[in-house]
Chains A and B, each alone.
Chain A
Amino acid sequence: MLSRSAQGLYWMGRYLERAQHLCRLLQLQTAALVDRPVQEIYFGWSRIYISVNRLPPGGSLGLTASDDGSFEEDFTLADSYTLADDLTFERSNPGSVWSCFAMARENARQTRNCVSAEMWSHLNLVYLRLQGRDIQDIWATSPESFYTQTTNEINTLIGVAAATMYRDAGWHFLQLGRFIERAQLAVSLFQAQLATEVHFEESSEADWTSLLRAYHALEVYNRSYSVDVQPNQVLDLLATDPLLPDSLCQSLDVVGAQLDAIGPGPNAESSGATRRLAGRLGSLIYYDWPDLEDREQALQDLAAFCRDLHTLITTTYFDYQVDASPVS
């Protein structure tokens, strides 16, 4: 497969995953606005902004303490409107849902001869629909249902892709992009969870419950552990449960499987290095994590490995060196 097409599909996968991840977090966050305490809402916003490594508009979250709390309540809603806009529709924010989705579509457009017609058609429809929305309009009705709908649309898109795409290298690069992105996003969200906790000096059980919800894992957690939520157990579940579709180990398994399916690139050495690094990532979760005391350090290692893996994939399959002389 043409390197540039493979790269386009890989990035399309990454951007789609990013858009969907953010939508899911915003879905929970806007749902929380209805009835959750101010502190928890701020925890949520802070977690998102730290995980995407972005400063909120204005530079910081306006955490003002007032005695009776009413002043704060008003501002929580106003701030949330601005923050949701910044993360959803802001064109100048390259990480907003809009920007990610537009980038996913742009990559699909450029590699359109490699994606199925059904998939392109659906992707384009979602794009056109998103283009017609703005924060005022979704805030006026139910922001939550907008995020639910968009999440569902992306899920449908992935389903359409799975149902219609030819399983050649293009499909595997698309999957590879999605799942590397998923692993990276999970790692940075876990890191953000811990960092926010430090920042707020305390966290409530609810802050961990919402993290479980983000991964559709609350019920599983209650069943496997207890209704009493323990931070370390939450991280263990989200990192190591092989049955949880979004768990870290699940994502890394898929990454390894895609690399196996793709096979080596033109350079044996860097192909080998790529596959070995993916294996090392998996073993960190499977064999090291359960015995770890310092999960923070492990998360740091995982984040660094994921970045390295991305670089290796790029140099192995997309931007490899060639010696050629144009004229004989």
Chain B
Amino acid sequence: MNFDEYQLDDDVYDEMFLPDGTPREHSQDLYELLCQLSSEELANIQDRVTRSFSNEGITFTVYGDEEAEERIIPIDSLPRVLSNTEWQEIEAGLTQRISALNSFLEDVYGRVGSNDPYGEPRIVHDGVIPVDMVRGCPQYRVEMRGFSAPHGTWVAICGTDIVRTNDGFRVLEDNLRVPSGVSYMLANREAVKKSYRRLYRRSRVREIEHYGQVLQTTLRELAPGGQSDPTIVLLTPGVYNSAFYEHIFLAREIGAELVEGRDLLVNNGFVYMRTTTGLRRVDVVYRRVDDDFLDPLVFRPDSLLGVPGLLHAYKLGNVALVNAPGTGVADDKSMYAYVPDMIRYYLSEEPILANVETYLCRRREDLEYTLDNLQDMVVKRVGESGGYGMLVGPHASPQEREEYAEQLRADPAGFISQPVLALSRAPCFIDGRFEPRHVDLRPFVLHGRETRIVPGAFCRVALRRGSLVVNSSQGGGGKDFWVVED
């Protein structure tokens, strides 16, 4: 197969090709191999990769009216390749970022360095972030006020969305609550590397399969009382959660019990799980349940997914909760705009990874700019995620834009806007041809007492032609992502 029909666009960075159409250095080997393979061979590889997902039951569940349907995330079999030098920039940027975000959360909630535990955060006091942005944020958890997270680690597991434009890498979103997708990073690699045995070996792709060990180390570091062999559990909302496969997968990887809220109970401030031989103490809870549902005594009282008394046990220091409750205040879509300032404020450093230019519609001038340029903007609701409630200006009809503008005027603080980004594209094998599709990247950052990042990521692809939305709920798929030694 050749790339004669493959289209390049000067405004869009292509992951495989230079603007003149020659392959980038680190993609040279892959390019040559793809040119040698026939369309049938490529179709076979694609088929094998897809089949390995359904055979292994790597699925997410979609609930319709009648039967629940298990679907697989479509995986494109061509890997996306990045050089180690480029990766190191990302790695340094992510390390810097999680450090600033943890400092921010400690500042917002904690009592360290403050005589008045209920006073303003330093960053608010010093005029960097307005107070209502913090305390008025729906994700701000007043219940955590005056609490300091052990080791200052509020966020131990984070999945950061990064995009690339002709101007370099940009962070699109920090996911600091219960980020998902890491199982796809590992499963994509497992499925894809088998199809490119020789290339894989020769390319010296950096390994990622130790992610489970690193995650276990991170969770152990957070165990109360510095225990060397703590009991770790993964708390899942259960089989109806769309990421349930990932929960099973990770529990296996880290040798933790996979528990639901009903398996745990709190007695006298300690957490126990119900086993066939009686109750057993639990030291670390890697929770994949949202704050709201975590503890019905503190958060939503109607929650059946949580554990009554869990937050009490956490505040007593008898159990570690990963991530800590309340981290949502730092990954809120409008707080995002302040992360570069946080980095400067807490670390006295310049951000290594830039943000996407963001307009906070709560500011009058930003609102006006957004409304005037709606056809060129992406507008997002502050509280939504997963690609929902979003307006992609250039793809919307004038009527859709007008309707959206009305919502915007009614509740400006509920929205942010960003210029439409020319997300980079990578070749995909679609309908028997190589076609460019927009991609992003979600690497996973782990932080117990130090930061560790496995050199890999879940690379998401907008499989619909021209689409910029990579979310799996919106027609997105995945790709394997290789960091190759230079």
Q: Indicate if the CB atoms of B57 and A322 lie closer than 8 Å.
A: no
> Knowing A124-B55, A265-B276 touch, does A4 contact B260 (C-beta < 8 A)?
yes
Binding site for A on B (CB under 8 A): 54-57, 239, 248, 251-252, 257-260, 262-263, 265-269, 272-279, 297, 308-309, 312, 316
Q: Indicate if the CB atoms of A124 and B57 lie closer than 8 Å.
A: yes
Q: Indicate if the CB atoms of A326 and B297 lie closer than 8 Å.
A: yes
With A and B bound together, what is the CA distance between A173 and B54 in angstroms?
28
Query: Is A70 an interface residue, CB under 8 A from the partner?
Result: no
With A and B bound together, what is the CA distance between A322 and B267 in angstroms?
10
Q: Indicate if the CB atoms of B276 and A169 lie closer than 8 Å.
A: yes
Min distance, Cβ B233 to any Cβ of chain A, angstroms: 9
Query: Is A38 an interface residue, CB under 8 A from the partner?
Result: no
Q: Indicate if the CB atoms of B251 and A4 lie closer than 8 Å.
A: no
Q: Indicate if the CB atoms of A328 and B276 lie closer than 8 Å.
A: no
Q: Indicate if the CB atoms of A1 and B275 lie closer than 8 Å.
A: yes
List 20 A–B pairs whose Cβ atoms lie within 8 Å, in order of A's numbering.
A1-B275, A1-B276, A2-B273, A3-B274, A4-B259, A4-B262, A109-B239, A109-B248, A110-B239, A113-B257, A120-B56, A120-B57, A121-B55, A124-B55, A266-B279, A326-B266, A326-B267, A326-B312, A328-B269, A328-B312
Contacts of A124 in B (CB 8 A): 55-57
Set A113, A322, A328: member contacting B258, Cβ < 8 A: A113
Q: Indicate if the CB atoms of B265 and A326 lie closer than 8 Å.
A: yes
Q: Indicate if the CB atoms of B248 and A322 lie closer than 8 Å.
A: no
> Knowing A3-B276, A125-B55 touch, does A327 contact B312 (C-beta < 8 A)?
yes
Contacts of B309 in A (CB 8 A): 326-327
Of all A-B residue pairs in the complex, the 5 with the closest CB atoms, nearest first, are A326-B309, A266-B278, A324-B267, A328-B269, A326-B308
- Per DSSP, chain B at the interface is mixed
With A and B bound together, what is the CA distance between A109 and B278 in angstroms?
24
Contacts of B265 in A (CB 8 A): 322, 324, 326
Set A113, A173, A263: member contacting B251, Cβ < 8 A: A113
Contacts of B312 in A (CB 8 A): 326-328
Count of A interface residues, CB-CB < 8 Å: 32
Set B54, B239, B263, B266: member contacting A324, Cβ < 8 A: B266
With A and B bound together, what is the CA distance between A282 and B9 in angstroms?
78
Min distance, Cβ B467 to any Cβ of chain A, angstroms: 30
Q: Indicate if the CB atoms of B239 and A2 lie closer than 8 Å.
A: no
Contacts of A1 in B (CB 8 A): 275-277
Output the nearest chain A residue to B265 by Cβ-Cβ distance: A324
Set B56, B258, B277, B279: member contacting A263, Cβ < 8 A: B277
Query: Is A55 an interface residue, CB under 8 A from the partner?
Result: no
Q: Indicate if the CB atoms of B239 and A4 lie closer than 8 Å.
A: no
With A and B bound together, what is the CA distance between A110 and B269 in angstroms?
29
With A and B bound together, what is the CA distance between A109 and B276 in angstroms?
20
Output the nearest chain B residue to A169 by Cβ-Cβ distance: B276
Contacts of B297 in A (CB 8 A): 326-327
Q: Indicate if the CB atoms of A6 and B276 lie closer than 8 Å.
A: yes
With A and B bound together, what is the CA distance between A4 and B265 in angstroms?
14
Residue among A2, A3, A5, A106 with the highest chain B CB neighbour number at 10 A:
A2
Query: Is A171 an interface residue, CB under 8 A from the partner?
Result: no
Q: Indicate if the CB atoms of B252 and A112 lie closer than 8 Å.
A: yes
Min distance, Cβ B133 to any Cβ of chain A, angstroms: 33
Set B54, B56, B266, B275: member contacting A2, Cβ < 8 A: B275
> Knowing A265-B276, A327-B269 touch, does A109 contact B57 (C-beta < 8 A)?
yes
Q: Indicate if the CB atoms of A2 and B267 lie closer than 8 Å.
A: no
Q: Indicate if the CB atoms of B259 and A2 lie closer than 8 Å.
A: yes
Residue among B251, B274, B312 with the highest chain A CB neighbour number at 10 A:
B274
With A and B bound together, what is the CA distance between A317 and B277 in angstroms?
7
Binding site for B on A (CB under 8 A): 1-6, 106, 109-110, 112-113, 120-121, 124-125, 128, 169, 173, 262-266, 317-318, 320, 322, 324-328
Q: Indicate if the CB atoms of A3 and B57 lie closer than 8 Å.
A: no
Contacts of B279 in A (CB 8 A): 266, 322
Contacts of A5 in B (CB 8 A): 257-258
Contacts of B273 in A (CB 8 A): 2
With A and B bound together, what is the CA distance between A263 and B275 in angstroms?
13
Min distance, Cβ B334 to any Cβ of chain A, angstroms: 35
Q: Indicate if the CB atoms of B239 and A325 lie closer than 8 Å.
A: no
Output the nearest chain B residue to A110 by Cβ-Cβ distance: B239
Contacts of A325 in B (CB 8 A): 267-268
Q: Indicate if the CB atoms of A2 and B278 lie closer than 8 Å.
A: no
With A and B bound together, what is the CA distance between A275 and B215 in angstroms?
41
Q: Indicate if the CB atoms of B274 and A4 lie closer than 8 Å.
A: yes
Known: A113-B252, A326-B308. 7 other contacts (CB 8 A): A2-B257, A3-B274, A5-B257, A112-B248, A320-B274, A324-B272, A328-B269
Output the nearest chain B residue to A106 by Cβ-Cβ distance: B239
Min distance, Cβ B321 to any Cβ of chain A, angstroms: 15
Contacts of A320 in B (CB 8 A): 274
Min distance, Cβ B47 to any Cβ of chain A, angstroms: 15
Output the nearest chain A residue to B270 by Cβ-Cβ distance: A328
With A and B bound together, what is the CA distance between A96 and B4 in angstroms?
55
Q: Indicate if the CB atoms of B248 and A2 lie closer than 8 Å.
A: no
With A and B bound together, what is the CA distance between A167 and B276 in angstroms?
15
Output the nearest chain B residue to A91 by Cβ-Cβ distance: B67
Set B251, B263, B266: member contacting A3, Cβ < 8 A: B263
With A and B bound together, what is the CA distance between A135 and B226 in angstroms?
60
Min distance, Cβ A273 to any Cβ of chain B, angstroms: 16
With A and B bound together, what is the CA distance between A263 and B277 in angstroms?
8
Min distance, Cβ A203 to any Cβ of chain B, angstroms: 41
Min distance, Cβ B241 to any Cβ of chain A, angstroms: 12
Output the nearest chain A residue to B272 by Cβ-Cβ distance: A324
With A and B bound together, what is the CA distance between A120 and B56 in angstroms?
8
Output the nearest chain B residue to A271 by Cβ-Cβ distance: B277
Contacts of A327 in B (CB 8 A): 266, 269, 297, 309, 312
Output the nearest chain A residue to B296 by Cβ-Cβ distance: A326
Min distance, Cβ A79 to any Cβ of chain B, angstroms: 28
Q: Indicate if the CB atoms of B278 and A265 lie closer than 8 Å.
A: yes
Output the nearest chain A residue to B66 by Cβ-Cβ distance: A91
Output the nearest chain A residue to B266 by Cβ-Cβ distance: A326
Q: Indicate if the CB atoms of B252 and A265 lie closer than 8 Å.
A: no
Q: Indicate if the CB atoms of A265 and B266 lie closer than 8 Å.
A: no
Contacts of A318 in B (CB 8 A): 276
Min distance, Cβ B141 to any Cβ of chain A, angstroms: 18
Output the nearest chain B residue to A127 by Cβ-Cβ distance: B57
Contacts of B316 in A (CB 8 A): 328
Min distance, Cβ A275 to any Cβ of chain B, angstroms: 14
